[in-house]
Chains A and B, each alone.
Chain A
Amino acid sequence: MARYKDPIVTELLGKQLHPGEQLYHWAYGVKQPPMGLIILLTLLAVVPGAIATALMTKEYIVGLTSHRVLILRVKGGKANVLEITEYDRRNLPPAKTSTGALFTHIALADPARPFVAKFHRLGMTNNRDHAMGIAAALPQAV
């Protein structure tokens, strides 16, 4: 079930670390298209709707380091990095986080670089614990 194994993810995030920076938590998350669109596409045709939803889903690897929150947009089985976004931990935007039975949701309300993703508990080994660790380090929006 796990999308990526820990060594792949830690190696990817390790390449982005600055000298002296430590990696604390890492998690795999996805951002799906809006739920209304998923329902509409599935109602139109089930199989093409499911494929379209999968095509429009973005995959992320998020890392919490001693200095930053690193967000890598990845694709493919080898986790090719497409985009890299980082937030300084001393200047983090307000976040909305929640944890349910299956998913941990994290949304960063940065006006210039908003980020939202959900992290399935089986996305990676210990994905839930890592996602909750990242969420706990984020300043909660009021």
Chain B
Amino acid sequence: MTSAPHGFAIPCPFCRTATAASRCERCLRDPRAARRVCAACARQTPVHEPACMHCGASAPNDLVWKVPVIVLMFVVAFALAVALHR
């Protein structure tokens, strides 16, 4: 077991167990790993895990709605430009 860089126990952001190790003894995750906040249950999950470790909700991808909206805006802009130039 590797000791934590800080040398004192911190609450694991994923399972809330106090740990001083570089890997939580309970959930076996790195307590200092990059993490995301679940939109459904507001608890934290490592970013590399596709689903929330607590409620199973899948991670939303903003591009799913942003890309279609951006494409639609440009299509509407071009359609307006063509219509106004006639």
Quote the shortest CB–CB distance from B84 to chain A (angstroms): 13
Interface size class of B (residues with CB under 8 A): 20 to 34
CB contacts between A and B, total, < 8 Å: 56
Q: Is B54 an interface residue, CB under 8 A from the partner?
A: no
When C-beta atoms are compared, the residue in chain B nearest to A44 turns out to be B74
When C-beta atoms are compared, the residue in chain B nearest to A45 turns out to be B77
Q: Per a CB cutoff under 8 Å, which of A45, A55, A67 touches B74? A: A45
> Which residues in A have some Cβ–Cβ distance to B below 8 Å?
18-20, 44-45, 47-48, 51-52, 55-56, 67, 80-86, 88, 90-91, 113
A-B contact pairs, 21 of them (CB 8 A): A18-B8, A19-B10, A44-B77, A45-B77, A47-B77, A48-B77, A51-B70, A52-B73, A55-B66, A55-B69, A55-B70, A67-B6, A82-B37, A83-B35, A84-B13, A84-B35, A84-B36, A88-B5, A88-B6, A88-B32, A90-B5
